[in-house]
């Protein structure tokens, strides 16, 4: 498959590296220092646990032209960057454009800009950090998938042939992936979770260990998460995926769980470090979710309190 990864941050690098190692023809769109790193050295993926290093060369571009055709363009960028690239994507001739982007605002703007028939939606269950040109990464497997699995779907909700192919491509690249028929509900549910976690972390300068040792703050975070799920149900959005029903457990049980989890290196890698790098995105996501709160009419005192940390 001929694939363009639009964005060369941590997630984009993981996707590009794994898909290339699985035998796909991968091009990465990057700029600045990252463009030079990829052009000269390729992609280095490092597993922090096993210390295994994987290396692959990829094509690198700094501009997507209208005539550049790919089987899939996978857009892996922060929400705050998307509006600027919609005109570029709209002019490109590729038929399948996959937005792997955090949002609670729906996809109408993207569909209007590039055509609903070309829009696909996804979200990763992977992360890490980039140091000295190398990406120290994780891909969720096993028990880690209790939070989320890399997920793809269609604007229409249909389980189309192209989304089946995409899921198969990622699974063969050792990134376990699944289908969701309602990605909008999936992403709104995700935002209801991550904005409260992020806002709690900002109260501790993104030190997840300190947060984990402060029971009162973790409890406030849990209240915010559950308020967010109440907001979704009030506006007719069923929290998705269904496996996250455990987030409706009694407040005490969830507070104990998150107090323990926040004191782990996994929480540091998957949550704290991302919050440091993506504060502007988290502010944007909170604003999107605030619109849903207003729409619902639900009182959200915990969410309101946590927002003071932004």
pLDDT tens sequence across 144-179: 666 789 999 999 999 999 999 999 999 999 999 999
Report, as an integer, the average pLDDT of 220-232: 98
133 and 236 belong to one structural domain: no
Q: Please tell me the predicted confidence (pLDDT) of residue 147.
A: 73
* Closest-CA residue to 128 (of 285, 287, 273): 273
Q: Please tell me the predicted confidence (pLDDT) of residue 270.
A: 83
Q: Please tell me the predicted confidence (pLDDT) of residue 140.
A: 81
110 and 194 belong to one structural domain: no
Q: What is the pTM of this model?
A: 0.94
131 and 206 belong to one structural domain: no
36 and 162 belong to one structural domain: yes
Report, as an integer, the average pLDDT of 183-191: 97
The pLDDT mean for the chain works out to 95
The last residue of one of the domains, among 181, 199, 221, is 181
Report, as an integer, the average pLDDT of 268-272: 88
Give me the torsion for CA of 124, 178, 226, 236, rounded to 10°.
120
* Closest-CA residue to 212 (of 193, 224, 197, 194): 197
Band (143; pLDDT cuts 50, 70, 90): low
90 and 13 belong to one structural domain: yes
The last residue of one of the domains, among 153, 181, 209, is 181
295 and 248 belong to one structural domain: yes
* Closest-CA residue to 240 (of 163, 174, 182): 182
204 and 223 belong to one structural domain: yes
Lowest mean pLDDT among 144-158, 243-257, 278-292: 144-158
146 and 47 belong to one structural domain: yes
252 and 190 belong to one structural domain: yes
Tell me the two tokens of residue 255: 């507070």
73 and 160 belong to one structural domain: yes
Beta strand 126-131 pairing with 150-154: unpaired
Domain housing 167: 2-181
Q: Which residue has the tokens 């700094």?
A: 62
The last residue of one of the domains, among 181, 203, 223, is 181
pLDDT at 55 over 70: yes
Residue 102 region by backbone torsions, left for phi larger than 0, else alpha for psi between -120 and 50, else beta:
beta
pLDDT at 292 over 70: yes
18 and 98 belong to one structural domain: yes
Q: Please tell me the predicted confidence (pLDDT) of residue 146.
A: 64
pLDDT at 195 over 90: yes
CATH number at residue 45: 3.40.50.720
pLDDT at 100 over 70: yes
Alpha-carbon distance of 5 to 209, in angstroms, equals 34
The number of domains in the chain is 2
> Three-class SS of residue 29?
strand
Alpha-carbon distance of 162 to 36, in angstroms, equals 33
pLDDT at 6 over 90: yes
Beta strand 126-131 pairing with 119-123: unpaired
pLDDT at 294 over 70: yes
171 and 195 belong to one structural domain: no
181, 160 Cβ separation under 8 angstroms = no
């Amino acid at each position: 498959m001929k694939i363009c990864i639009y964005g060369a941050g941590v997630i984009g690098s993981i996707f590009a590296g794994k898909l290339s190692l699985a035998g796909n023809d991968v091009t990465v769109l990057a700029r600045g220092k990252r463009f030079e790193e990829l052009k000269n050295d390729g992609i280095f993926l490092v597993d922090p646990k096993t210390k295994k290093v994987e290396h692959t060369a990829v094509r690198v571009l700094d501009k997507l032209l209208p005539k550049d055709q790919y089987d899939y363009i996978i857009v892996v960028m922060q929400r705050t960057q998307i509006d600027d690239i919609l005109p570029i994507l709209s002019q490109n001739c590729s038929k399948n454009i996959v937005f792997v982007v955090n949002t609670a605002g729906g996809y109408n703007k993207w569909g209007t800009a590039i055509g609903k028939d070309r829009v696909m939606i996804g979200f990763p269950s992977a992360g890490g950090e980039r140091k000295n040109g190398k990406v120290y990464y994780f891909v969720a497997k096993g028990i880690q998938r209790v939070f989320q699995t890399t997920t793809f779907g269609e604007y229409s909700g249909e389980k189309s042939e192209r989304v089946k192919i995409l899921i198969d491509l990622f699974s063969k690249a050792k990134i376990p992936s699944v289908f969701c028929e309602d990605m909008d509900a999936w992403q709104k549910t995700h935002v209801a979770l991550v904005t409260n976690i992020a806002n709690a972390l900002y109260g501790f300068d993104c030190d997840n260990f300190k947060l984990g040792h402060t029971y009162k703050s973790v409890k406030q975070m849990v209240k915010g998460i559950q308020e967010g799920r109440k907001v979704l149900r009030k506006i007719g959005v069923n929290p998705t995926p269904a496996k996250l029903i455990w987030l409706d457990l009694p407040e005490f049980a969830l507070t104990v769980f998150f107090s323990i989890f926040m004191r782990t290196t996994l929480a540091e890698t998957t949550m704290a470090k991302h919050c440091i790098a993506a504060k502007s995105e988290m502010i944007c996501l909170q604003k999107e979710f605030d619109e849903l709160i207003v729409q619902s009419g639900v009182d959200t005192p915990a969410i309101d309190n946590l927002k003071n940390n932004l």
